[in-house]
Structure 1
Amino acid sequence: MPTPCFRARFLSATVAGGAVAALVLTGCSSNTSTPVPSRQKDVRSSDSNVKMTDCASQCTGEINRAKYTIKLPQNWNGSLLLYSHGYRFAAPAPPSFAPVDTTAQVSSTDSDGTGSDPLSQKLLAEGYALAGSSYKSNGWAVRDGVQADEDLHNQFVKLVGKPRRTYAWGDSLGGLITEVLAETNPDWVDGAAPMCGAVAGPNYNFDVALDVAFAVKALIDPSLKLTGYASADEAARNWTAASAAVLKAAADVKGGGTAKVLFIASLVNAPTATATYDGHDLTSQVKARVEALLTALAFGTSGRYELEQRVGGNPSDNSHADYAKRTEGNEATLITTAGGNVASLEQRLAAAPRVTADANARTAIEKLGDTTGAITAPTVTMHTEQDPLVLVQNESVFSDRARAKQAAGKLVQLYVAPPKTYSETAKAPYGAGHCNFSDGQRTGLIDVLDNWVRHSVYPVSTGVASKLGAGVDALYTPGPWPGDEQQQQ
């Protein structure tokens, strides 16, 4: 078949964490002919009514103890969206202590596996087939999530038909699973869209949770246990006591408690806004940082207990952390304004005993699954700029890995900023909070990825804005990982 000819023009875009000049390709005529691989013919196909088999009662089921759900459109465009859900606690855990969830879901907002939510319905109306599953275990189940996705893809091919293209997408831990799945299955994953993903991997994210717990113990709650919980109940009790202590400290302006909370937040670059608090003044910023710290403590207690059981010990470490380098100038000014002394607080941390990881456990957690940056399929990540759980700096680590593997050209990273102000009751519509995106931003993300994969339309700022709408921040680049000195050891 004729080989497409392209004319190039340059536009700015954010690629792998940096502003670069991006090629936008437009068609032109050519008489040159070269064969196109059959897979690429399928991927580029414009057929909007691909033949499929209705899986009927087998559209729901269980594979290897993981429940799955498949939802089929009326007319299939040949694309399968394979969804990976986020972290689910293995036992009722803070802050909500909700019952354990083992349902399958086919999109970010599909709460019960029925696909009846507006987001799923919109994607089905556009012709996408949707599939998603639970994992055979809850907790830091990266390996289980990848296996569940691989099994479900095979099941879809068997029951429905072979997709012309498969896009992996997922939220939070599911974002990490999405990328690991794409890196390990380049033969059938044609594009990836990790959202609010823990793409820096387990050691980065659990080390920073340890940083928070360590500082809370040293400065606010000496009774807080950092590792080695005997049970899920003990871990939850530690969170309950520590959270009460943090809340009490935050309200103690005169006694220095507020400054301590701000100082601890500065160690991990905790966001100044959340879905509830817009950070428009000092009070709102303190509330936002308290929320972020309590969220981190939930994973530093209940999440840590599950993880230690999974890998046979404590995988987290702060023995090389240099906390004196963490607090930046504007943060120090804020702490001083709240009545704190940064040097004194740093000295107290320096005097506290550090935590050393169990080497076997630290290696074991990496083997559960981590990104390498060896990207082969077009990958578009999306992250809120103010994420209190999976820090936006995850994207900085991931982009560094992609550059090291000479794969930066396959990675585009999108960031969503919240409105400048919003009320605590209405909350942020997008941009602040963990995985807080609008349905339009999520469907726009898939459109951007689809255009890149099928039509070689490289995502640039103008095109992305038209697809995702308000909130997309083309000029934003996250800073380095807080405490990267620890990871370099």
Structure 2
Amino acid sequence: MRSIASRGRLAVTLSVLAALALSACGGGDDDGDETPPAPEELRVQDSRQFSVDETRLPFTALAGAPETDRWWGVLRGAGYRVEVPKNWNGMLVMYAHGYGGTGATVSVSDAPIRAHLIAQGYAWAASSFSSNYYDVRAGVEDTNALALAFQQIGAQNGRTLAAPKKTYIIGTSMGGHIAAAAVEAETIATANNPVRYHGAVPMCGVLGDTELYNYFGASQIAAQQLVGVPATAWPVANWATLAPQVRSALFTTFPSATTPLGDQYKEIVKQLTGGERPMFNEGFAGGMNATVWGTFGRDGTINGILNKDGYDTTGIVYQFDNDPAQTPAETAFNQAAYRLKADPEANRLRRDGLRWFPKTAGQISVPVVTIHTLGDVYVPFSMEQIYKRRTVALGTDKWLVQRAIRGVSHCDFTLDEQTAAFDAMTNWEQNGVKPAGDEVLDRATVANPAYGCKFSSASRTPNSCPAS
């Protein structure tokens, strides 16, 4: 059967791509002036230096797995690993890893479902990316460059490989953002290393792109306002001094036990992160909440990924309960809240490639299957809701299937949950069988105590799912 990807791609029209190109180039003059555009401005990230520790690139065969060829090296400043079964099925899976921190050394990670991939005959490849920090632009470009070099790497190592008949992309956390951005029409139109993937599996991904950082800013603003030390400027100049005061007013033990005022803050965070749902309480009381608080006090450049303030809370609606209707108290809180407004230049289209912070706008035309844990308050379930709304608005939600997983922490998946999502995506793309998923926008559905049980592993559900 001919694949869905070749049978029914979304019409990303030439006019749309032309508009993107014109915008990226700064206009559409037709006066014959061929003067090249001025160089793009730089940001802090562009001044940072990173290197690959090549001694950490080699990797060994998996015990009991099919025989493979394994190659590693450095490509354009990024380390890589490639594994190709001897009985290769002709298809390639690119894996994008999560946030690598802020160190000067970049490192590569194996695909978490490596054993499953090679058992099914798939080749896989993963890049370290050429930089650390939250550099999704580098992650997309370096992953794509590795995909494009796949045959060449094989030839350099004595194996002739045909061009992959299918190329898929999967990723976790920041890598989930990369996987989702990689299949966007804007990315395909503006990347320096464009790849047309046949499907994607973003896992625990930042599917709301900059909305994640808007949430971080909104959470700090709400915490300060509740405690009576509201923000009046950004970044908050004396946050280091205020933080202990704010935290002690909201928590008796941070982050596991709240004060009565902290209960109100907890409800605000619940609504910012996806609304009433199973596993939220456990997630809020865990280490990921402390990680969220670790983002407070920063400016809006996402640690130098942007060079102007990219936070924007003008669209945030604070709620004290799961009812979207605003009470007088909620209205008053929203009216009083300090609002962040992003500089329009902070994340504009670039003339030299992708946006600094690539968008996940929902301009997709291939199967995308996502999984997300319900208790995650760091990259929260609301990312899925934002992404779904974007695809609905564009009419591309027919290409999207989402699955809620009853995990407590960030990327808290079992291997079988990940392999099930991958197999669902490839079966959909190769055989036209659209998989089942979860409704993510209906509040009553998401709030049901059994929500997320359908696609959560049997290894975790007996003690967390209601008896049938």
Question: Normalising by the residue count of structure 1, what TM-score does the alignment of the two structures yield?
Answer: 0.63
What SS does the aligned partner of 1:299 have?
coil
What SS does the aligned partner of 1:130 have?
strand
1:76-91 superposed matches below 5 A: 76-90=88-102
Cα distance, 1:155 vs. partner?
Answer: 1.7
| C-alpha distance in structure 2 between counterparts of 1:466 and 1:83, whole Å | 26
* Aligned: 1:443 with 2:426: no
What SS does the aligned partner of 2:183 have?
helix
| C-alpha distance in structure 1 between counterparts of 2:240 and 2:85, whole Å | 43
* Aligned: 1:370 with 2:359: yes
1:96-245 superposed matches below 5 A: 102-108=106-112, 119-160=113-154, 161=161, 162-183=163-184, 184-185=187-188, 188-202=196-210, 204-220=211-227, 222=229, 227-228=234-235
After superposition, what is the alpha-carbon deviation per residue over 1:19-75, rounded to whole angstroms, capped at 9, x for unaligned? xxxxxxxxxxxxxxxxxxxxxxxxxxxxxxxxx995x6xx21222222111122242
Specify which of 377, 397, 402 is matched with residue 413 of structure 1: 402
1:86, 1:171 within 8 Å by CA — same for their partners in 2? yes
* Identity between Structure 1 and Structure 2 (%): 25
Specify which of 59, 63, 76 is matched with residue 75 of structure 2: 63
Cα distance, 1:212 vs. partner?
Answer: 0.5
Structure 1 pair 343–452 and aligned structure 2 pair: CA distance change class (3 A)? same
Aligned to 2:345: 360
After superposition, what is the alpha-carbon deviation per residue over 1:58-94, rounded to whole angstroms, capped at 9, x for unaligned? x212222221111222421222110111223325xxx
Aligned to 2:284: 288
* Aligned: 1:315 with 2:310: yes
2:225, 2:231 within 8 Å by CA — same for their partners in 1? no
Cα distance, 1:242 vs. partner?
Answer: 6.1
Gaps in structure 1 of 5+ consecutive residues: 5-51, 92-99, 109-118, 280-284, 333-341, 419-430, 474-489
2:129, 2:142 within 8 Å by CA — same for their partners in 1? yes
2:208, 2:386 within 8 Å by CA — same for their partners in 1? yes
| C-alpha distance in structure 2 between counterparts of 1:454 and 1:353, whole Å | 49
1:373, 1:407 within 8 Å by CA — same for their partners in 2? yes
Aligned to 1:73: 85
1:448, 1:467 within 8 Å by CA — same for their partners in 2? no
| C-alpha distance in structure 2 between counterparts of 1:264 and 1:450, whole Å | 38
Cα distance, 1:345 vs. partner?
Answer: 8.3
AA in 1 matched with 2:83: K
Structure 1 pair 471–176 and aligned structure 2 pair: CA distance change class (3 A)? farther
1:384, 1:434 within 8 Å by CA — same for their partners in 2? yes
After superposition, what is the alpha-carbon deviation per residue over 1:386-409, rounded to whole angstroms, capped at 9, x for unaligned? 221122122222222223333222
Aligned to 1:297: 293
After superposition, what is the alpha-carbon deviation per residue over 1:169-203, rounded to whole angstroms, capped at 9, x for unaligned? 1011211211221224486411111111111211x
Gaps in structure 2 of 5+ consecutive residues: 3-66, 155-160, 189-193, 439-451, 462-468
| C-alpha distance in structure 2 between counterparts of 1:237 and 1:87, whole Å | 28
Cα distance, 1:241 vs. partner?
Answer: 7.8
| C-alpha distance in structure 2 between counterparts of 1:169 and 1:308, whole Å | 25
* Aligned: 1:328 with 2:321: yes
Which one is further off, 128-137 or 349-358? Answer: 349-358
After superposition, what is the alpha-carbon deviation per residue over 1:411-449, rounded to whole angstroms, capped at 9, x for unaligned? 221222x2xxxxxxxxxxxx3221111101111212112
Aligned CA-pair RMSD: 4.2
| C-alpha distance in structure 2 between counterparts of 1:468 and 1:251, whole Å | 26
Going by fraction, where is helix more abundant, 1 or 2?
A: 1
1:80, 1:129 within 8 Å by CA — same for their partners in 2? yes
| C-alpha distance in structure 2 between counterparts of 1:229 and 1:138, whole Å | 26
| C-alpha distance in structure 2 between counterparts of 1:165 and 1:265, whole Å | 41
1:385, 1:415 within 8 Å by CA — same for their partners in 2? yes
Question: Normalising by the residue count of structure 2, what TM-score does the alignment of the two structures yield?
Answer: 0.65
| C-alpha distance in structure 2 between counterparts of 1:331 and 1:249, whole Å | 30
What SS does the aligned partner of 1:307 have?
coil
| C-alpha distance in structure 2 between counterparts of 1:286 and 1:169, whole Å | 27
| C-alpha distance in structure 1 between counterparts of 2:373 and 2:202, whole Å | 12
After superposition, what is the alpha-carbon deviation per residue over 1:80-127, rounded to whole angstroms, capped at 9, x for unaligned? 110111223325xxxxxxxx762111314xxxxxxxxxx422322222
Structure 1 pair 375–148 and aligned structure 2 pair: CA distance change class (3 A)? same
| C-alpha distance in structure 2 between counterparts of 1:84 and 1:135, whole Å | 9
2:148, 2:195 within 8 Å by CA — same for their partners in 1? no
